[in-house]
Chain A
Amino acid sequence: MSRLPATPEPEPFDDKDTRPRPVEDMTHADDLLLAREALSGSAFARKRFAERMRCVPRYLCVLNGRMGRPFQDHELEDLAQETLIEIWRRLDSYAGLASMPTWAYRFCQQVLSSRLRSRQRRPPSLELSDADPIPAPSRTSLDHEHVHNALDRLRQRDADIIRLKHFEQLTFEEIAARLGMPSSTAKADYQRALERLRELLGTWHKEGDGWTR
């Protein structure tokens, strides 16, 4: 996500502060500052960032359950590590539009889906028995991944507006405030973004239980 100016600036993190705000009470602006401070090397901010990222293994666990448990626990541990590294590598793109856990959730979805796709492309292993088949992903998860892929193909601003509207349930006034624009512009931009998403999804079609191009 691109950095946007509408987020109010909170007080800087202070490692001498004896009463730090609990991570669950942090606002988006807090998260944005936390990201900046962590990237700049603040040990205190990095500690708080690590606390904030404890959601990652939990999200992966829930997503794995929704997909029909294709991954075992040791594989989920690997995926958690991979996701955390990817989140840290991309942290400079975090713009504070959504909370940091919400932002991290998308990485969990992407890493999990990517690993699942690569597993499905692999030839069947002789080590796998009939008693331990790879569960097929549910129809719902495929549809969701399809929409998420389409969202990822949109321009950043378009995807931001759609996510803020439908995933964060913000009103156009709230979206406008967060993106630093008039609400009429937010509404018009949203309609355009929706049309682009519709066009993108239109290049795909349903085939059986899944979507293909």
Chain B
Amino acid sequence: MDPMKPNRGGDELERMLDELGKLEREERRAGEELPDAPGLRNVERVLEDVWAEEPQQASPRRTWIYWGALAAAAAALIAWVLLHQPTPPAMNGTTGEMLNDGVFRVLHPASLEASWPDRIQWSGPEGVTYSVRVVEEQPAGAERVLLGPQQVRGFELPLSAETTRTWPKRVRVDVEYRRKDGRQVPPKSDWWELAH
């Protein structure tokens, strides 16, 4: 049978397809009537083996539980982060505690009544070493060094009562640092004066 041959009293291709369809139906019918066949007893086992190797698929309910748990965990994490944000470094500036905003300056003590504060604080770039000193200004531009210069890698220098006990009523605090490229940054100064 050649499908390229011209039709003679009907389409040969259609007849061939009909024959093929008929044969298949007969074969299927014959197969369905077979009482036994090689591998028939293993059908369930083969499929169960295939299913056992599949990754477990979550049911819609389990999917909702999964996403719900994930959302709850995310909310808990966000809450924890909000509640445990790192506390900004306490700096006793003129308006109370301040964040180090990276601007280089000496922080003025919140209160200067009858005693010196227990530390000198400043803000500025991180990762550099600051040089801190305290001087008493004298006539004709002279000055007397009361403390330092001390090298500090941070933003505060503790002051003991022993250190400040001999200080006059008015002092000048100088802080300077060297930039990472080696250039010296001019010192920032702050004048402290006891009220009493």
Contact = CB atoms under 8 A, between A and B. Distances in A.
Interface string A35-64: 000001100001001100111111111110
Nearest to A77: B39
Interface in A142-172: 143-144, 147-148, 162-163, 165-169
Contacts of B113: none
Q: Chain A contact residues: over half helix, strand or loop, or mixed? A: helix
Contacts of A41: 57, 59
19 contacts: A41-B59, A49-B47, A53-B43, A57-B43, A59-B31, A81-B46, A84-B43, A84-B46, A84-B47, A84-B50, A85-B46, A88-B50, A105-B24, A147-B16, A147-B20, A166-B17, A167-B24, A168-B21, A197-B13
B39 A76 contact: yes
Contacts of A101: 28, 32
Nearest to A63: B27
In the A-B complex, the 5 residue pairs with the smallest Cβ-Cβ separation, listed nearest first, are A80-B39, A166-B17, A58-B31, A76-B38, A167-B21
B42 interface: yes
Interface residues of B, number: 35
Contacts of B16: 143, 147
Given A88-B50, A201-B3, A62 B20 contact: no
A39 to B, nearest CB: 9
Interface size class of A (residues with CB under 8 A): 35 or more
Given A57-B40, A62-B27, A76-B37, A166 B20 contact: yes
Nearest to A206: B2
B32 A167 contact: no
B4 A202 contact: yes
A50 to B, nearest CB: 5
Contacts of B21: 163, 166-169
Given A62-B30, A62-B34, A50 B43 contact: yes
Interface string A84-101: 110010000000000001
A206 B37 CA distance: 35
